[in-house]
Structure 1
Amino acid sequence: MIIAFDSTQQALRAEMLLEYAEIEIDIRPTPKEITAGCALSIEFPDGELESVKRVIVNEHVEIRGVFRQIEGGYEQLEV
């Protein structure tokens, strides 16, 4: 799973909040298939989706979207 952002500031803020919530994440370049204003994305395990959503909503993190990799690209999920 990947979270894409429109700003580096929001990506770094989300990184801090998710690490504080003890969710295992990795910072990675935003895949070219995902159009976003920021070159940084956060990757996290599928099993953490609900925890990630909770942090994003409760902390009002501005994101482009949450995406799941599928054959041939990515699909955007509801947050």
Structure 2
Amino acid sequence: MKDLNVCIIAFPSTSESVNLYKVLKNKRYNVVMIQTPCTISAGCARSIEIKENDLENIINEIKTNNIEIRGIFRKALSESTRRYYYEELSF
């Protein structure tokens, strides 16, 4: 496993992802809106990719702004299969 220092935040709805994206961009976090990997969810098509260094602060923003999320996942690369996989984090 090769840790990529990137986390993915998945959401139950597109509106929740857009709300958090706006909050984080306004606070100058380095975030990217991406399509949700199908191994994480077949529901909402949007997720936010963040740097793992910002995780604690972003969790505080999620709680402060009452944004509903489906989960937070650490992105890693399997060296044996050369494929990405996602490990769900608890917070």
Bigger helix fraction: 1
Give runs of aligned pairs for residues 34-53 of structure 1, distance below 5 A.
Answer: 34-53=40-59
| 1:50-70 deviation line (CA, Å, top 9, x unaligned) | 111010011110000110013
| 1:20-55 deviation line (CA, Å, top 9, x unaligned) | 221110011001110252100000111110111010
**Aligned amino acid, residue 62 of structure 2:** I
**Aligned amino acid, residue 75 of structure 1:** E
TM-score (norm 2): 0.80
Tell me, which stretches of 5 or more residues in structure 1 are unaligned?
Answer: none
Partner of 1:63: 69
Bigger strand fraction: 2
Give aligned-pair identity as a percent: 37
| Alignment length (residue pairs) | 79
Tell me, which stretches of 5 or more residues in structure 2 are unaligned?
Answer: 1-6, 79-83
Query: Which is higher, the Rg of structure 1 or of structure 2?
Result: 2
Structure 1 residue runs of 4+, over 6 Å off? none
Alignment root-mean-square deviation, CA: 1.2
TM-score (norm 1): 0.91
